[in-house]
Amino acid sequence: MYIVILAGGSGTRFWPLSRKSTPKQLMSVFGGKSMLQRTVERVVPLQPKRILVVTNALQAAETRSQLEYIKGVPVDVIEEPIGRNTAPAIGLAASIIARFDADGIMAVLPADHYILDEERFRDTLIRARDVAENGTLVTLGIAPTRPETGYGYIEAQENYGEAPAKVARFVEKPSLERAMEFLATGRFYWNSGMFVWGACAILDQIKLFMPELSSALAKLTFERDVWEISDLKPQIEEIYAGIKGESIDFGVMEKAEDVQVIPASFGWSDVGSWSALPEVMESDQDGHVVINAQGSVSVGSDGCLAYGGGKMVAFVGVKDLIVVDTPDAVLVCAKSAAQDVKKVVEELERRGKSEYL
């Protein structure tokens, strides 16, 4: 199996820790290793043939630098000159893999998701690969644990428990009422954005549903018969100049006939904002999640999240707050308003304060 990691996101919702040059996947969101490093380490035990990390020019140097220490599996960093959503990134990786390994199976993984049970995650990928070997497109559907309105859903035709099922349709983020109906049926899963398929299988589907992208990708040729990503740079730039952005969900998955969903329950979060961290990290004895701090003191407080910038953090009489301290900016935010952190970024952009972006 090949692993394709999509690492081009910009993630304004983790401001002030995330910036244009260090988006969420390159950040040490949980303290210690970055989300990208965790994503890569999580698949190394699968002994994949190669790991392809697709990122953009602004983040390429930091991405390479963060992955230098990975041993035992070759890691390629593929640089997109400009972000064009997931379909071109996936198509590009698939084209490279297919060129050298026509039967190659690839798992597509976002670089910035949280996974609790890594062993179970790898088992799920292996089961997905077995299904994908029949030429099917496989998507990992997360068994929902609550009527979440922040995720898209996948409806399966049948509920076969842990076994793969044919996808009936993909559904956009629902209302709470609909989300509750979804959960009641037992046939709906969260759309995790994780896929497993043959490189040729997805290229066939791109050809069918995204002919422009397919033609553009067809221009990719290898001068030498060696796997050397840096050779491709001028061609990738030319290809990207002529294509438009599109997600693989909209471009292919929602239209393709033969898509299977593998129910997955390894504990997952897309870590969409600061408020997602407390859901996936253990609280301390005071009920706070404190990351990257020299310790904390809590007086009449609970339910806070602090990213402490290496400092002592003190909470006094506060509840359900997010505090993020970085060298040049500090954020205080109600957990319930975590989605609005992107408005701060918009306001700073409007003011031309690029040093904080």
- Which stretches of the chain bind a second copy, using CB under 8 A? 15-16, 294-295, 297, 299-300, 304, 306, 308-309, 311-318, 321, 323, 325-334, 336-338, 340-341, 343-344, 347-348, 353, 356
CB-neighbour burial class of residue 111 (10 A; exposed 0-12, middle 13-18, buried 19+)? buried
Q: How far is the CB of 315 from a second copy (least distance, A)?
A: 6
Q: Tell how strand 137-142 and strand 188-198 pair up.
A: antiparallel
Q: 258 vs 347, which CB is nearer to a second copy?
A: 347
Q: 145 vs 294, which CB is nearer to a second copy?
A: 294
Q: Tell how strand 137-142 and strand 259-264 pair up.
A: parallel
Q: 244 vs 343, which CB is nearer to a second copy?
A: 343
Q: 245 vs 295, which CB is nearer to a second copy?
A: 295
Do 92 and 54 contact (CB within 8 A), yes or no?
yes
Helix (H, G, I), strand (E, B) or coil at 62: helix
Q: How far is the CB of 338 from a second copy (least distance, A)?
A: 8
At residue 179, what is the residue type? A
Any bridge partners for residue 299, and if so which?
316
DSSP structure string for 95-120: HHHHHH-TT-EEEEEETT-EES-HHH
Do 94 and 203 contact (CB within 8 A), yes or no?
yes
Q: How far is the CB of 20 from a second copy (least distance, A)?
A: 15
Q: How far is the CB of 327 from a second copy (least distance, A)?
A: 8
Q: 244 vs 319, which CB is nearer to a second copy?
A: 319
Q: How far is the CB of 163 from a second copy (least distance, A)?
A: 43
Q: Token digits for 257? A: 């006939």
